[in-house]
C-alpha cells in the first residue's frame, strides 16, 4: 500500500510528464508512429484490395462460400506480413551497402520490425484457426 507521501510524489510526477508543450514538439511527436507506415491499417487502394482478393480466392476457392470473413482476415494479415518483410529486406539492403556508416536509427528500426512481424503472424494464425 502506498503512503500519502508516495501518492503525492506520483501525482506531482504525473503533472510534469504530460508530453510536449510547444507546437514544434507536438508536431514532431505526432509523427512518431508513422515513420514507416507499418502501424497503420492496410490501405484500401486497388492494388492492395486486388492482392487480398486474389489471396482469398487462392485460400478459400471463392469469396461467396461460408468462412469468407476468416479467409479475408487471413489474406489481410498475410499482406501485412509481406509488407513488413519487404520493408525489412529494403532496410537490410540499405544497411548492407552502408558499410560502417550504418545509422543507429536504422538499426533500431530493424529491431522494432520484429514486433510488427509478430503481430501480423498472430493475426494470420488466428484467422487460419477460424477457417
Q: How confident is the model over 48-61, as pLDDT tens digits?
A: 888 888 888 887 77
Q: How many Å is the maximal CA-CA distance in the chain?
A: 65
Residue-range definition of the domain harbouring residue 64: 44-131
Is 24 contained in some domain?
A: no
Q: How confident is the model at residue 99 (pLDDT cuts 50, 70, 90)?
A: low
What is the number of structural domains in the chain?
1
Q: Which residues of 104-125 are buried (b: 16+ CB within 10 A; e: fewer)?
A: eeeeebeeebeebbebbeebbe
Q: Does 35 fall in a domain?
A: no
Residue 16, in any domain of the structure: no
Q: Is the pLDDT of residue 5 over 90?
A: yes
For 37-46, 53-62, 64-73, which range has the lowest pLDDT when averaged over its residues?
64-73
Give the residue-averaged pLDDT of 73-85: 91
pTM of the full predicted structure? 0.64
Contact present, 101 and 55 (Cβ < 8 Å): no
- For 22, phi and psi rounded to 5 degrees? -80, 155
Q: Give Cβ neighbours of residue 120 (< 8 Å, ≥ 6 apart).
A: 77, 78, 80, 81, 84
Q: Establish if 99 belongs to a structural domain.
A: yes
Q: Which of 5-14, 24-33, 66-75 has the lowest mean pLDDT?
A: 24-33
For residue 62, pLDDT beyond 70: no
Is the pLDDT at 64 greater than 80, yes or no?
no
Question: What average pLDDT does this structure show over 78-85?
Answer: 91
Mean predicted lDDT score pLDDT of the chain: 82
Q: Is residue 10 part of a domain?
A: no
pLDDT number for residue 38: 79
Residue 81 belongs to some domain of the structure:
yes
Amino acid at each position: 500500500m502506498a503512503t500519502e507521501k508516495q501518492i503525492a510524489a506520483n501525482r506531482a510526477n504525473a503533472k510534469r510528464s504530460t508530453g510536449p508543450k510547444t507546437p514544434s514538439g507536438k508536431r514532431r511527436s505526432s509523427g512518431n508512429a508513422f515513420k514507416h507506415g507499418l502501424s497503420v491499417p492496410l490501405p484500401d487502394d486497388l492494388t492492395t484490395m486486388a492482392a487480398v482478393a486474389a489471396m482469398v480466392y487462392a485460400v478459400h476457392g471463392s469469396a461467396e462460400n461460408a468462412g469468407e470473413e476468416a479467409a479475408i482476415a487471413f489474406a489481410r494479415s498475410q499482406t501485412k506480413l509481406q509488407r513488413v518483410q519487404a520493408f525489412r529486406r529494403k532496410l537490410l539492403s540499405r544497411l548492407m551497402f552502408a558499410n560502417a556508416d550504418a545509422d543507429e536509427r536504422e538499426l533500431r528500426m530493424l529491431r522494432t520490425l520484429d514486433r510488427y512481424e509478430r503481430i501480423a503472424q498472430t493475426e494470420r494464425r488466428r484467422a487460419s484457426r477460424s477457417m
